[in-house]
Amino acid sequence: MKKVAFYTLGCKLNYSETSSISRMFEEKGYVKVDFTDQPDIFIINTCSVTENADKKCKKIVKEAKKISPSGFVTIIGCYAQLKPKEISEIPGVDAVLGAAEKFRLFDYLDDFTKGGVFASEIKEAKTYNASYSIADRTRTFLKVQDGCNYGCAFCTIPLARGKSRSDSITNILNQAKEIANTEVKEVVLTGVNIGDFGIQEGKRKEKFIDLVKGLDQIEGIDRFRISSIEPNLLTNDVIEFVAKSKRFVPHFHIPLQSGSDNILKKMNRRYLTDLYKSRIEKIKSLMPTCCIGVDVIVGFPGESEEEFLNTYNFLNELDVSYLHVFTYSERPNTKAVEMEGAVDLGERNRRSKMLRGLSEKKRRYFYEQQLGNTFQVLFEEDVEDGIMHGFTENYVRVAAKYDPILINEVKNVMLKEINSNGHVEVEEAEEIFTH
């Protein structure tokens, strides 16, 4: 039996797809092993959101050939779709499969003795391939949508994944029921643009709110968490439903990208700061302890110091909990790469550092607000120096003395104090914590 190993770069969507592809191999009799266990086959699932992700792909191929010089190296994912020829020329790469081909590896590569480049134009990526991860028994990333019809000036994702498309609610509910029969306690909904859920065969047939309502009825899963969702698609009915939901947790991740309306327009985003602010206020009015994460890009072409400070001040005044800060990098075939007013790289890094500092302050303030209150923590198999970790429903990372009986259990705890690592220590709120 041949051994196969997987390595995933990028987003939660990539992880869900890697997991599904790995199950395809296991069903065909392959043995899934660790990357370092001299595999016969390497499957590297790539990302192309940042330039750094491209460089990582080359490094991982190099490492793979060190581990198993005769191993068959296959590259899939977004980078594979965008630059198949360039990847095929990396020493050690045997096969490259694009977006329309990656779920059909066995059709193209047979027994993995013949290689080649198989990457059709992105318009051919029309099929929706269902996926979910099961490597982590605590949580699963459940893919509900793929592709994007938006044309943000900085983004290559539509070029790498194609147009927006989704599975049906019925099929996704069936997948959730499969997951409910495992040990998984939390499901994270993922996709490229999940708020745009419901497009099948090029036509809108269903709505995201109806998917959320259906999943809320699934027995056997304690928590559902919504991953990144566009502010213009995070409608009031979704917010209101989550606020009273049995299983959807009070945690949203809402991309902003810029706090300057002028830059938002240049980015070709589909909202302005007034709408974004109103979404935050709506969430906090219904769920005061809700955790809200924000994506933001610094150094977009033409971003002046004043416009950056508008972003900083806008975020500083918003009741949000943490930031994911991205330093703008030029990506081929995007509208932004042709724009004038490139920001100096040193200045981009300075602005990025400022916002990361703000993020730390935001997260600590959010954690401080939760102290003294009781929440439910899902404990993970994440142990460091005798300390285990987990997350509350509103995404506070907590620390507790290691106890194997707590792993993958949901327990009521009181948040006590923030430790030196920035995690929250918990009070003994249940008998199980008594030692």
- What is the overall mean pLDDT for the chain? 94
| Domain spans in the chain, listed from the N-terminal domain onward | 3-124, 139-364, 374-433
Tell me which of 433 and 384 has the higher pLDDT: 384
SS3 category, 182: coil
What pLDDT was estimated at residue 1?
85
**What residues pair up with 389 in beta bridges, in sequence order?**
399
**15-50 b/e (C-beta count within 10 Å ≥ 16 → b):** bbbbbbbbeebeeeebeebebeeebbbbbbbbbbbe
Rounded to an integer, what distance in angstroms lies between the CA atom of residue 339 and that of residue 102?
33
Q: Is domain 139-364 in CATH 3.80.30.20, yes or no?
A: yes
Amino acid identity, residue 205? K
Query: 53: pLDDT confidence band, cut at 50, 70 and 90?
Result: low
Q: Residue range 355-370: average pLDDT?
A: 98
Rounded Cα gap, residues 381 and 390, in angstroms? 9
Q: Which CATH class is domain 374-433?
A: mainly beta
373-396 residue pLDDT tens: 999 999 998 888 899 999 999 999
Of 339 and 432, more confident: 339
List phi, psi (to 5°) of 228. Answer: -50, 130
Percent of the chain with pLDDT over 90: 88
Which are the contacts of 314, defined by CB distance < 8 A and separation ≥ 6?
256, 259, 273, 277
Strand order in the sheet with 139-143: 139-143, 186-190, 223-226
pLDDT at 264 over 90: yes
Spell out the alpha helix ranges (H) of 43-147.
51-67, 78-82, 84-88, 105-109
Q: CA 75, 81, 82, 85 torsion: positive or negative?
A: positive
Q: Enter the tokens of residue 365.
A: 């303030």
- Regarding the domain with residue range 3-124, which homologous superfamily does it belong to in the CATH classification? Methylthiotransferase, N-terminal domain (3.40.50.12160)
Contact in structure between 377 and 406 (CB atoms under 8 Å): no
pLDDT for residue 433 is more than 60? no
Is residue 435 pLDDT above 50, yes or no? no
CA distance 395 to 399: 13
Q: How confident is the model at residue 415 (pLDDT cuts 50, 70, 90)?
A: very high
Given this model, what pLDDT does residue 183 score? Answer: 92
* pLDDT tens string 111-160: 898 889 999 999 999 999 999 998 666 899 999 999 999 999 999 999 99
- Region class of 163: left (phi > 0), else alpha (psi between -120 and 50), else beta: beta
